[in-house]
Amino acid sequence: MKKPVFNFSPGPAMLPAEVMLQAQNEFLNFQGTGMSIMEVSHRSAIFQQVIDKAEADLRKLMSIPSDYKVLFLQGGASTQFAMIPLNLMRKGKAVFLDTGAWSQKAIAEASKYGQTHIVASSKDSNFSYVPSFEKEEIDQEADYLHLTQNNTIFGTRIHSLPVSGKVPLVSDMSSMLLSEEVRVEDYGLIYAGAQKNIGPSGLTIVILREDLIGYAQYSCPKMLNYQTHVDKASMFNTPPTFPIYMTGLVFAWTLKEGGVKAMEEKNMAKSSLLYEYLDQSDFYRPDIASPHRSRMNVCFHTPSPELDIALAKFADEEGCKFIKGHRSVGGIRASLYNAMSIEGVAYLIEILKQFKRRA
């Protein structure tokens, strides 16, 4: 019998099977036009409907208030690391919570454009937890407080949002957007690369409050100025049309499946199942302590680096793809984005049990 394939890639990651089938079916002939959606002008009515529906569905999914803009951009979170300070650093200072590689990249970029202050860091323990801090520790004159809300590499998650006073929260939600409910009103700006929960790579979603727009530094490249994209509704230049189309299909699927609340419940069930197995095991060791654990990226180790490698290979052969940990952490990482089924997680646990017996 052919083995099942369950894709635990940290991103680009698996997409819902229904979405993939629909995209394949209409790949050569989109809605009877005789053309692929990939082949039509972004200025056509055909594509305009696609992007408009994608935005409307995302607004519905996240209950995005009307004073927030939604942008479909390129360049990934790495481009946002520069775009955010170039646009938001009006007073020239920003505060960061340092929870690992992504935070640090954001800090390094922001340092070119203004002052940066790290309010708390878990560097001392190789980012195995999310450090806490008090509102009083945040300079109330800062332009923003930056968070990596879920850390894909270390498998941490910020479980309670810090109170920042009048300082807007800026959150990198790359590996958690639409995986759990968030109150958009609590943020000044939310950004995410699409290639985790919501679509293929090559698309970046930015949700930002209107009053933060229009203050870019003079040297800010036009393409890195939020105002440029707000003025032209994400069509200042040719957008990544196929990734937007795919992401739109995922948004529609997410709505059909019950929305973000349903995803959150499913994601809690999936991650709990796996963490519970790991916690009771005398063989596997989860990297992160309970309150700081990501629901998206479950990171753990076997008793040795050699066994980690052997497990990743064994799991791959058995149909559990891409569970090798990030090169900077080692070990094992299973990414359980929205499209991963509970059956996939149960199957992974079976494979972990088999490997343990063999080891």
Q: Candidates 158, 169, 246, 298: give the one binding its own copies (CB under 8 A).
A: 246
Is 23 a binder of its own copies (CB under 8 A)? yes
Q: Candidates 113, 127, 226, 277: give the one binding its own copies (CB under 8 A).
A: 113
Q: Which of 57, 69, 102, 143 is catalytic?
A: 102
Q: Which of 143, 172, 287, 308 is catalytic?
A: 172
Kindly give the pairing relationship between strand 150-151 and strand 144-148.
Answer: unpaired
Residues in a beta bridge with 299: 333
Q: Are 149 and 171 in contact (CB under 8 A)?
A: yes
At 14, list the tokens: 């698996």
Q: Are 71 and 206 in contact (CB under 8 A)?
A: yes
Q: Candidates 63, 125, 140, 238: give the one binding its own copies (CB under 8 A).
A: 238
Contacts of its own copies in 183-202 (CB under 8 A): 193, 195, 200-202
What is the helix (H) or strand (E) element at residue 117, kind and residue range? strand 115-121
Kindly tell me which of 108 and 268 has the beta carbon lying closer to its own copies: 108
Q: Candidates 114, 188, 239, 286: give the one binding its own copies (CB under 8 A).
A: 239
Is 336 a binder of its own copies (CB under 8 A)? no
Kindly tell me which of 27 and 181 has the beta carbon lying closer to its own copies: 27
Is 328 a binder of its own copies (CB under 8 A)? no
Is 226 a binder of its own copies (CB under 8 A)? no
- Go through 145-172 and write b for each residue having 16 or more CB atoms within 10 A of its CB, e for each that does not: bbbbbbbbbbbbbbeeebebeebbbbbb
**What's the rounded Cα separation, in Å, for the pair 157 and 99?**
9
Is 253 noted as a catalytic residue in this protein? no
Is 172 noted as a catalytic residue in this protein? yes
Burial class (CB in 10 A: 0-12, 13-18, 19+), 34: exposed
**What's the rounded Cα separation, in Å, for the pair 136 and 52?**
42
**Which residues participate in catalysis according to the annotation?**
102, 172, 196
Binding site for its own copies (CB under 8 A): 5, 7, 9-15, 20-21, 23-24, 27-28, 33-36, 38-42, 44, 74-79, 81-83, 86, 105, 108-109, 112-113, 193, 195, 200-203, 218-219, 221-224, 236-243, 246, 319, 321-322
